[in-house]
Structure 1
Amino acid sequence: MTNSKRAVTAEDFTKLAVYSEPQFSPDGSKYAFVSTTVNDKEEYESQLFLQDLTTNMPKQWTFGCEKNSHPRFSPDGQKVVFQSNRSGVSQLWLLHTDGGEAKQITTFKNGAVNPNWSKDGKYIVFTASLDSDDDVKSQKEQSKEERQKEREEKKKQPLVVTSLRYKSDAQGFHDDKKSQIVLYDVEHETFTQLTTADAHHGYQDVSPDGATILFAGNLNEDADYELISDLYTVNIATKEITKLTNSSGTFHSASYSPSGDKIAYLGHEQTHAGATLNELYVFDVKTGERTCLSTDWDFQLGDLMIGDTRLGTSTTGPVWSKDEDKLFFVGTDFGATGLFQVNLQGELEVLYKNDNHVFGFSYDGSSESFVIGVSTPTNPCNFYLLDNSLKLTRLTNANTEFLEEVELSEPETLTYTAQDGWEIQGWLLRPYGFEEGKKYPFVLEIHGGPHAMYGQTFFHEMQLLAAKGYVVLYTNPRGSHGYGQDFVDAVRSDYGGSDYTDLMSAVDYVLENYSFIDEDRLGVTGGSYGGFMTNWIVGHTNRFKAAVTQRSISNWLSFYGVSDIGFFFTKWELGHNLLEDTTKLWEFSPLKYVENVETPLLILHGEQDYRCPIEQGEQLFVALKHLRKEVEFVRFPGASHELSRSGKPEMRIERLNHICRWFEQYL
């Protein structure tokens, strides 16, 4: 077959515009959004765009090599507040919707983020990282030179650790600063700090009457040892804090109803630890009573789709209707996400679900319509208008040049039966230039989590492997989201058990049903939990001729103490921690089975990965090399656990090239 379009390359993700954060204007006539790209300096930049719903062409609002995000319209629609790092760290800026230069409104030393307006437009509420003795009225932004000097001085000082949770993959080593909620008076240009507790405060919403702020956090004395997140309100006038939930679980994504009488929120009480499905709750502000609307549902609320080009956050709900008789949210179900609504009696309705990835939405009460963001396996992103009759109209034409230039493989959805009779969903990509009668090498991709979901979204890495001539298979073995509570919980305490046989059954199924796969040239790769499973596979079967393990787990005994989540994740997922059963943890560890490994293995790991620290890769490499196995270790400087998704572009390209090189060498 002759292709008129070229094959995908490792560098192609740098040519994409990734859309996020759609935000309706108050009158519903236009919407703002964020577009993230990789610039000529090989750095990410994010710009704000505005599109009138009567036109087909969005208008770019911000420019320069900075990250601008989180646009929020003032209630009168005349201004937009947003966050930008154009001054060096993320600060808040005001922009008139009719044009002109943006005005900087915060100069906080450690920046300011997540701005939102009060309903009357008099205040902007935001969060800032503050020390206990910081004064918000005299915050001064550092110069580039001052920031550099402070960083150099910090490197010379030892880190004194007193907290159990002293690091995180997202932020590195923590300091004593905490996220506090701050109020900005727009007219008087003054700041008021509303929270002061030695805890992180996550802004959620402001009440319609402007009297209280809703936030999430843990203000308990034993917060360092607890895996909970409660909801609280803080009274703006008195700064009095009221606790709304009872420390029974993790609660978030909270929002006031238009009248302020109710609060909707997501969360769960950890009945299945980290594998627990979210519930949708409504809290009565006057009575304090809580109602669960999702009692009879069996799917995950929110967006749990995995991809490698989804930069930027977007609202996924719950969002109140204008009459506060319904709630809207994104749900994760059978390899796709959709937009759902529910009334206060718990009656569920699908507003939009079309076997693709809805990654966010904005709701306009006046027209009762939505702007929704959609990604498909062959189209990275676009925005659509979903009107009150559920008619869908495309608003943007993102990445047109890229899509006209490259050949993308449309996945074939398949369902196969596991050894114990469970049905497992997966997808298969045929290689670029596919020809009937030819045999092709094969790569099995395994997702991380494990409580996440592969599905109908754009995935550059998958397309790249198909472009390199491989048949690509990706599946959702038990432990994945999208198939109900029993399914997502089934992997716990059984790592390397039925999840492993689910994957082997997938390979058996495609070899039996797709004659163009060369069974003598099988490869496997995965990251995080997928890296663990890659390690497990090569220690338990020699059917694969090449393997690439990424940011993996090899030894659960050491993982307990070195990972930012190890001290609880080990117990949650395996049923035991280091202090309870070392024998069991060793049995779960791929490192135990290294003598069985005959598959050439490439180990990829980020130097600054605090989720699955690089010592996991080091142990595996040393053991295999000591046994004179075929192994190679690639360490990525400065890279965290997020290397494949939001790491430095040049490191992401290097990573993809190493994967392709290894499979080309051995397959």
Structure 2
Amino acid sequence: MQAIKLDEFLNYHFLSNVKLSPSANKAAFVVSKSNEEKDGYTSGIWTVDLNTKECRMLTAGKDESSFLWLNDDTLLFTSRRDRTKPEEVDQYYTDCFVISLHGGEARKRMTIDAPARVVASIDADTYLLDVSYDNNLPENFFTMSREERQKLLASRKEEKDYEVFSELPFWRNGAGITNLQRSRLYLYHAVEKVMEPLTEAKYQLEGYDLSQDKKKLVYCGSDFQGVESLKQELVEIDLATKEKTVLVPLASWNIHHVVYAGEKIVVTATENKKYGINENANLYCYDRENKKLQLISQPDRSYYSSVGSDCRYGGGKSMVGEEDGITYITTERNWSKINHVSFDGMISSLTADEGSVDCMDKKNGRLVYVAMRKTGLQELYTVEHGEEVCLTQINAMALEGKSVVTPKMIRFTDTDGVEIDGWVLEPVGFDPQKSYPAILDIHGGPKTVYGAVFYHEMQYWANCGYFVFFCNPRGGDGRGNRFADIRGRYGQEDYDDIMQFTDQVLSAYPQIDKGRIGVTGGSYGGFMTNWIIGHTHRFAAAASQRSISNWISMEGTSDIGPYFGMDQAGGNAWENFDQAWWHSPLKYADKCTTPTLFIHSDEDYRCWMVEAYQMFSALKVHGVESRICLFHGENHELSRSGKPNHRIRRLKEITDWFNHYLKEEK
């Protein structure tokens, strides 16, 4: 068997955005792949005939990831394939192409004078657009000629040396500076080349759906002025008359999803009253007669997949409305699956309790989904006669002949009587008579989960001769609100769970050298790594990634800081300061002795780089061996969707750090 290499992920394909055709006899989906030469990712559209099972690549472009079905034989997609010059003005135009499934070259259908995603075709001439709208530009910008735009943008270059912020958040992770920028809905009339706005210029759009007859549109959001609201209103528009009806006013509801289910409008929503911002939403149907939300189901689970992996790229649907109810992805224990809930609240499982389901679509009784099964990579699946059927073999060769390690579960009951799930990857070629180093890996969130799915970095470390172990402590997803709720207790029961899990692993595997164990994690896992090195000396080395070290500074710099810090840590600079500081790993930096590597990105606006700077500086001042590797132009998603060369360097930095402290003779 061949060892899994550090850059092995360059050979993997990532599937996303699956959509069924109008008849549901065919499906199209996006396949992306790392491109080391261009230090980015290429994406193309593939199709599969669900009757014949024939699967083929439809477009071989470099950036084709947004598409829609015009009919059963034709797709419309956006692409920059005709762009030859990287002009700044080009980003404000969108080229749309059509391609037949029966062959032939893609033909340009239209160019929209705005940065847009084409959401739906209303009729032969009219399209629904989701437009990136910048309130910093003149209102007539989309009607300007290319020359006028070029002149305006050139004059604005003088202002690139400074930024003006007037709202919170003023930046968003993965999107950069977003002050006064919005997602805005339009109807586009292709013949007249006219864009007709449906939502207001400063409206913060959170979700929307088009009715099956394409006559109505429902959306949720809020009028964003100054500080973003955590609550949303629910609005319906008659697309013929443009009449708007506020169904649920902006008051107490945090609405996560909104879909049409036949004639009904269904939302997942919560009032965040009992468990804060991480509270699982319930499923409601809008009662048109009584003008209020009517409860359908409260499963106490999330309506999406939170199973972690570093082998995905791109998104897709997690919920579909139907005549008899809703089909949705949910996270249960340590896997994600697809459920259906009827309007009488009956829940039925459509897929197995295994691995992860990453996106899906369902129509006319047919279900397709992207999933990771056992220790394999993503493929496209369907269900026929109650049995799961794999429709693709796109990643079949990627792991063939490779030393893939199957995770072994360790489930135990902690001292509080709570059952905790964890796994161990044994080192490749494991010899029970030998001694080995080990790495504890901690997930982010904290409201996510680890499962038994393929994780490249962990498999690589196992191939490098490490035991790798990981678990789902309290604070994570898949076990309900009570299990996930650690507000005001970060670093307490979650820390205890992780330490007790470590004890369990060491008891099960005496081959692990207790003096050669490392710890790492990202985001919440980075916070916990920072916390651990200030509360125990049992680890020989640490790698803290995209971490939180100070809840006070996090509140004032993170794109979610104004609400996340107070909600989760239970304090801020003005209220319960002592509690927020007590939960800050920086407070305990003077107790640290563990050599620590910090991995961070300068465009990580979720946990800004000052979090790493503060902890790194504190360790240096107190004489602890430490190093920081800052990645320019990357954000919070570095390990999952960062530039390929940066992902390689990141993993090399962490592995070299552990090799030095856990393998080399001292």
Q: TM-score, normalised by structure 1?
A: 0.92
SS of 2:204 mapped into structure 1: coil
Q: Residues 233-244 of structure 1: matches in 2 within 5 Å? A: 233-244=236-247
Q: Residues 407-446 of structure 1: matches in 2 within 5 Å? A: 407-446=403-442
Q: Give, in whole Å, the separation in 2 of the partners of 1:589 and 1:114.
A: 44
Asked if the contact 2:126/2:188 (under 8 Å) is kept, the reply is yes
Report Cα offsets for 1:358-417 as digits up to 9, x if no partner: 11222130xx22112111352110111212x32222110022222114211111122112
SS of 1:201 mapped into structure 2: strand
User: Which residue does the alignment assign to 2:328?
Assistant: 329
Match of 1:576 among 565, 571, 583: 571
Q: Give, in whole Å, the separation in 1 of the partners of 2:581 and 2:354.
A: 40
How far is 1:55 from its partner? 4.2
**2:49 maps to amino acid:** D
Q: Give, in whole Å, the separation in 2 of the partners of 1:568 and 1:166.
A: 14
Report Cα offsets for 1:18-50 as digits up to 9, x if no partner: 011111111222110000101242321110011
SS of 1:462 mapped into structure 2: helix
How far is 1:588 from its partner? 1.2
How far is 1:91 from its partner? 2.6
Cα 1:475–1:147 shift into 2, 3 Å? farther
User: Which residue does the alignment assign to 1:484?
Assistant: 480
User: Which residue does the alignment assign to 2:339?
Assistant: 340
Residue 173 (1) aligns with residue 177 (2): yes
User: Which residue does the alignment assign to 1:358?
Assistant: 357
Cα 1:407–1:401 shift into 2, 3 Å? same
Cα 1:240–1:555 shift into 2, 3 Å? same
Q: Give, in whole Å, the separation in 2 of the partners of 1:103 and 1:179.
A: 28
Report Cα offsets for 1:250-299 as digits up to 9, x if no partner: 213322123xx20122222212122201211212345434222223x232
**1:182 maps to amino acid:** Y
Residue 541 (1) aligns with residue 546 (2): no
Match of 1:84 among 79, 101, 106: 79
Q: Give, in whole Å, the separation in 2 of the partners of 1:144 and 1:544.
A: 57
**2:28 maps to amino acid:** A
Asked if the contact 1:320/1:326 (under 8 Å) is kept, the reply is yes
SS of 2:397 mapped into structure 1: helix
Q: Residues 554-569 of structure 1: matches in 2 within 5 Å? A: 554-569=549-564
Cα 1:147–1:190 shift into 2, 3 Å? closer
User: Which residue does the alignment assign to 1:471?
Assistant: 467
Cα 1:145–1:198 shift into 2, 3 Å? closer
Residue 294 (1) aligns with residue 294 (2): no
Residue 16 (1) aligns with residue 12 (2): yes
Match of 2:248 among 236, 245, 250: 245
Asked if the contact 2:235/2:246 (under 8 Å) is kept, the reply is yes
Q: TM-score, normalised by structure 2?
A: 0.92
Residue 130 (1) aligns with residue 133 (2): yes
SS of 1:404 mapped into structure 2: coil
Match of 1:277 among 277, 280, 285: 280
Residue 26 (1) aligns with residue 25 (2): no
Cα 1:55–1:433 shift into 2, 3 Å? farther
SS of 1:419 mapped into structure 2: coil
Q: Give, in whole Å, the separation in 1 of the partners of 2:112 and 2:68.
A: 20
**1:443 maps to amino acid:** I
Report Cα offsets for 1:447-504 as digits up to 9, x if no partner: 1111111113221111111111111111110000001110001x11001111111100
User: Which residue does the alignment assign to 1:453?
Assistant: 449
Q: Residues 225-240 of structure 1: matches in 2 within 5 Å? A: 225-240=228-243
Q: Give, in whole Å, the separation in 2 of the partners of 1:601 and 1:654.
A: 17
Residue 49 (1) aligns with residue 46 (2): yes
Report Cα offsets for 1:511-547 as digits up to 9, x if no partner: 1122322222111001111111101101110110110
Report Cα offsets for 1:630-667 as digits up to 9, x if no partner: 11111111111111111111111100001100110011
User: Which residue does the alignment assign to 1:312?
Assistant: 314
Match of 1:375 among 372, 394, 403: 372
**2:233 maps to amino acid:** D
Q: Give, in whole Å, the separation in 1 of the partners of 2:390 and 2:349.
A: 19
SS of 2:29 mapped into structure 1: strand
User: Which residue does the alignment assign to 1:622?
Assistant: 617
**1:33 maps to amino acid:** F
Q: Percent identity?
A: 34
Q: Give, in whole Å, the separation in 1 of the partners of 2:572 and 2:525.
A: 21
Asked if the contact 2:113/2:143 (under 8 Å) is kept, the reply is no
Cα 1:138–1:102 shift into 2, 3 Å? farther
Q: Give, in whole Å, the separation in 2 of the partners of 1:92 and 1:287.
A: 44
Q: Give, in whole Å, the separation in 1 of the partners of 2:6 and 2:232.
A: 40
Q: Give, in whole Å, the separation in 1 of the partners of 2:637 and 2:399.
A: 26
Q: Give, in whole Å, the separation in 1 of the partners of 2:426 and 2:343.
A: 45
User: Which residue does the alignment assign to 1:508?
Assistant: 503
CA RMSD of aligned residues (A): 2.4
Q: Residues 135-174 of structure 1: matches in 2 within 5 Å? A: 135=140, 138=143, 152-156=157-161, 158-174=162-178
User: Which residue does the alignment assign to 2:86?
Assistant: none
How far is 1:73 from its partner? 0.9
Question: What residue ranges of structure 1 are gaps of 5+ in the alignment?
Answer: none
**1:125 maps to amino acid:** L
Asked if the contact 1:108/1:140 (under 8 Å) is kept, the reply is no
Q: Give, in whole Å, the separation in 1 of the partners of 2:523 and 2:642.
A: 15
Asked if the contact 1:231/1:252 (under 8 Å) is kept, the reply is no
Q: Give, in whole Å, the separation in 2 of the partners of 1:85 and 1:274.
A: 38
Cα 1:300–1:555 shift into 2, 3 Å? same
Q: Give, in whole Å, the separation in 2 of the partners of 1:310 and 1:439.
A: 34
Q: Give, in whole Å, the separation in 2 of the partners of 1:436 and 1:151.
A: 66
Q: Give, in whole Å, the separation in 2 of the partners of 1:143 and 1:187.
A: 22
How far is 1:13 from its partner? 1.1
How far is 1:439 from its partner? 2.1
User: Which residue does the alignment assign to 1:184?
Assistant: 188
How far is 1:564 from its partner? 1.6
Asked if the contact 2:112/2:193 (under 8 Å) is kept, the reply is no
Cα 1:402–1:141 shift into 2, 3 Å? farther
Match of 1:600 among 587, 592, 595: 595
**1:451 maps to amino acid:** K
Match of 1:61 among 55, 58, 69: 58
Q: Give, in whole Å, the separation in 2 of the partners of 1:235 and 1:141.
A: 33
Q: Give, in whole Å, the separation in 2 of the partners of 1:546 and 1:637.
A: 25
Moved more, 244-253 or 607-616: 244-253
User: Which residue does the alignment assign to 1:349?
Assistant: 348
Report Cα offsets for 1:280-339 as digits up to 9, x if no partner: 1212345434222223x232222122221211112111x233xx1232111100100111
User: Which residue does the alignment assign to 1:195?
Assistant: 199
How far is 1:116 from its partner? 1.7
How far is 1:114 from its partner? 4.9
Asked if the contact 2:99/2:107 (under 8 Å) is kept, the reply is no
**1:581 maps to amino acid:** N
How many corresponding residue pairs? 648
SS of 1:396 mapped into structure 2: coil
Q: Give, in whole Å, the separation in 2 of the partners of 1:6 and 1:151.
A: 54
How far is 1:137 from its partner? 6.7
Q: Give, in whole Å, the separation in 2 of the partners of 1:114 and 1:526.
A: 38
SS of 1:567 mapped into structure 2: helix
Report Cα offsets for 1:59-80 as digits up to 9, x if no partner: 212223x221132212x32432
**2:227 maps to amino acid:** D
Match of 2:227 among 221, 224, 229: 224
